[in-house]
Chain A
Amino acid sequence: MCLAVPTMLTEKREDHGTVELAGVSREVSLLLVPEAQVGDYLLVHAGYGIAVLDQGEAQRTLSLLNEIASASLDT
Chain B
Amino acid sequence: MAQKVMIEPVTRIEGHAKVSIILGDDGRVERARLHVNEFRGFEQFCRGRMFFEMPQITPRICGICPVSHHLAAAKAADAIIGVTPTHTASLLRELMHMGQVVQSHSMHFFELAGPDLLLGFDADPAKRNVVGLIEQQPEIALKGVMLRKFGQSIIAALGQKRVHPEFAVAGGVNSALTIEARDTIRRDLAARIEDAQAGIAIAKAWLNEHQDYADTFASFPCGYLGTVAEDGTLDLYQGKLRLIDCYGNRLEEFDPADYLDYIGERVEDWTYLKFPYYLKLGWPGGVYRVGPLARLNMCSGIATPLAHEEWRQWQQVNGGKPVQGTLYYHWARMVETLYALERTAQILEDPDVMSNDLYVPSDQITRRGVGCLEAPRGTLIHDYRTDPDGKLIDVNLIIATGHNNWAMSRSVEEVAKAYVDGTRLTEGMLNRVEAAIRAHDPCLSCSTHAVGQMPLEVTLLRGDGEVVERVVRG
Determine whether B448 belongs to the interface, using a CB cutoff of 8 Å to chain A: yes
Which listed residue, B2, B38, B66, B141, touches A31 by the CB 8 Å rule? B141
Contact A69:B9 (CB < 8 A) given known A4-B63, A48-B111: yes
Instruction: Report B446 CB to chain A, min CB distance, Å.
Output: 10
Listed stretches B10-18, B73-81, B340-348; interface member: B10-18
**Set A21, A48, A51, A68: member contacting B45, Cβ < 8 A:** A68
Q: Does A38 sit within 8 A of B, measured CB to CB?
A: no
User: Chain A contacts of B130 at CB under 8 A?
Assistant: 29, 31, 48
Question: Is the Cβ of B107 less than 8 Å from the Cβ of A69?
Answer: no
**B39 interface residue, CB < 8 Å from A?**
yes
Interface pair A3/B41, CB less than 8 Å apart: no
Bound CA span A4–B39, Å? 12
Mostly helix, strand, loop or mixed at chain A's interface?
A: mixed
> Contact: B5 with A21, CB < 8 Å?
no
Task: Give chain B's interface residue range (CB within 8 Å of chain A).
Answer: 35 or more
Interchain CB contact under 8 A, B61 and A64? yes
In angstroms, Cα B141 to Cα A24, docked, is 29
Contacts of A66 in B (CB 8 A): 8-9
- Asked if B112 contacts A46 (CB within 8 A), the reply is yes
Are B61 and A72 closer than 8 Å at their CB atoms?
no
A50-B152 Cα distance, complex, nearest whole Å? 10
* Contact present for B448 and A69 (CB under 8 Å): no
- Contact across chains for A71 and B45 when beta carbons are under 8 A apart: yes
Q: Which residues of B contact A62 (CB under 8 A)?
A: 9
B401 contacts the other chain (Cβ, under 8 Å)?
yes
Enumerate chain B residues within 8 angstroms of A75, measured Cβ to Cβ. Answer: 1-3, 5
Among A51-69, those with CB < 8 Å from B are 51-53, 57, 60-62, 64-69
Report which of A3, A61, A65 forms a contact with B448, defined as CB distance below 8 A. A3
